[in-house]
Structure 1
């Protein structure tokens, strides 16, 4: 009789809520989407914003993905980098790729083949930052659908050079997207020169919590090097700060890495780069294996190669370590658990190289980035943007919406 009573009990009756919570915090986002239907309690718990925040910060099994944004179509694709890292044969890559719902930038506008409608600018805590032609930013969680479309019409100046969104600003300097842990707020930062006011420098930010633009004014002084820039400068959010490469002019040597702490908001710090890096352009900034990294192409007398520098200890100059890949073109996307580089070279698809530069594997063509205008790596999360109005409620995912997005990513 006692056995029958136990068999009729649900898991919620047998385990305390605190233990259930601890168990769920250890699951990947993909598995959380599958178990939401176990009970109403589980569904409500997983949908709770506080649970989402704890899961992102404490998860033992984070899911890292690489999203590809096409030029004009809505055929968005995402690669599970963790699954790809464990792949032991080339065709396994196809199983790691999924189609995902189009970004709001693709869904809300009419595509014009003469323009790059939207381009990825970076990622932070599961959110992707995109620039949408002609003068909007989009912050979007591909998993939940939570998003915000932000106008920068008051800054943008469409000129005769506006052949794509990189030139939609008349005198842009820096763009950055990051998170302020002290205020639980996401920030878009934009440094720009006012061409109508003798190149007057501005450093503005958009707070997603207050849903408004503000200016740093005298609080933050834009370095002189940045005032001379005329090209869009991509950024990386890492270690609680936004990072940019500091070129001495548009195409000259790389001098340092500029760092803007989104918590302190006091000004720019600088991290020196290895002396050998300075003369190579273009040079790119990224994050590999939880470390800040640089990569560029190097033309030698003997053969062409790509060079990767990894800063194994943050802001410690002596920790910069270099690796060479025997390919004239290589874009590292991530490090495998074994410390191998996975990225794009001149071959179709993606390739894996070890730290000695030996090519271990070429994944199939389904990983090919051709036809996509931009991509970025992000960590999947259930997080939503700060709820400060009807626009956020409309953009945030419902329980149903979250389940649909999660199922697409399984």
Structure 2
């Protein structure tokens, strides 16, 4: 068995044997291109350093998603490519932006959204991106493309008419259940927020609703909580940070509010739940915190950094990306 086969087999066994994978929180300091990683099941005071594979200045680093141990990065200010990176092994590779995005006045990297996911039907990894397509009419249109690692090429996604009327409100996509998800709103402001999903096997877009219990004056964020697609929500009505999970995928009646209510802090960003249902997150005062049930603060740590901190969850893995067809031909 070659090394790559062993790594893939190890990853499959690990996925079958655990409900929760080895999750790590990565805290990134864009100004010096260094990150810190924390095992969420251990103490948040125990961390280690990782070197980001490229230099990012003036807070230009953006984390666009993670999947099976890989993190998708971009240079938010003046980049022309994505970076797919495995923090565990240090492996990384670049994916150039779609040619349509780089053409003329369409090049606006700060207006794009993206995500990274795995299509098990073809054993392929996809970078999915979209952006607002500038046009001379008053109608708002979006353009979507996906990059296949195996085929080493971009392909446009047929969005359908009504889906072009939704505007993505978060740049980073969340991979879950074979699809990448973003929060979106109707371009005309009617109908409230929805979740827009791109299915990697079917190569199609769909939408479904957020929990009905969310109040309009809050700010939802899309996450993964305890193995489910979830929403963290800052409610100005209950004065709590609420966590919701979708117990049955795309069945909107199964949205369930968890009992992890965290004391109100409009700067706190919940990131994940541990095996013991403890919530780990970050506030904009550079404090990493872990809360137990009923919002009890278990531990906290001030992160010393001159600039702002961005954060993402990833799984520790030895996987590498599959070889593309061009490499196989040689």
Equivalent residue number for residue 380 of structure 1 = 316
> What's the CA shift string for 1:370-399, capped at 9, x where partnerless?
83442210101111112238999xxxxxxx
Distance 1:388 1:54, change over 3 A: same
Aligned partner of 2:156 among 195, 215, 218: 215
Distance 1:180 1:346 in 2: 35
Of structures 1 and 2, the larger Rg is shown by 1
Distance 1:252 1:235 in 2: 23
Distance 1:80 1:65, change over 3 A: same
**Structure 1: where are the runs of 5+ without partners?**
1-44, 85-92, 393-410
CA positional deviation for 1:233: 3.6
CA positional deviation for 1:223: 5.4
Count residues with an aligned counterpart: 317
Equivalent residue number for residue 81 of structure 2 = 136
Confirm or deny that 1:261 pairs with 2:211. Answer: no
Equivalent position SS for 1:277: coil
Q: Between Structure 1 and Structure 2, which shows a larger proportion of strand residues? A: 2
Confirm or deny that 1:178 pairs with 2:129. Answer: no
Confirm or deny that 1:293 pairs with 2:230. Answer: yes
CA contact (8 A) 2:168 2:183 kept: no
Confirm or deny that 1:310 pairs with 2:261. Answer: no
Confirm or deny that 1:82 pairs with 2:41. Answer: yes
CA contact (8 A) 1:225 1:246 kept: no
CA contact (8 A) 1:252 1:281 kept: no
CA contact (8 A) 1:64 1:379 kept: yes
Task: Please report the TM-score for the alignment, with normalisation by the length of structure 2.
Answer: 0.83
**Structure 2: where are the runs of 5+ without partners?**
none
CA contact (8 A) 1:253 1:280 kept: no
Equivalent residue number for residue 14 of structure 1 = none
Aligned partner of 1:55 among 2, 5, 10: 10
Aligned partner of 1:362 among 276, 299, 306: 299
Distance 2:242 2:92 in 1: 36
Distance 1:225 1:280 in 2: 24
RMSD (CA atoms): 3.2
CA positional deviation for 1:293: 0.8
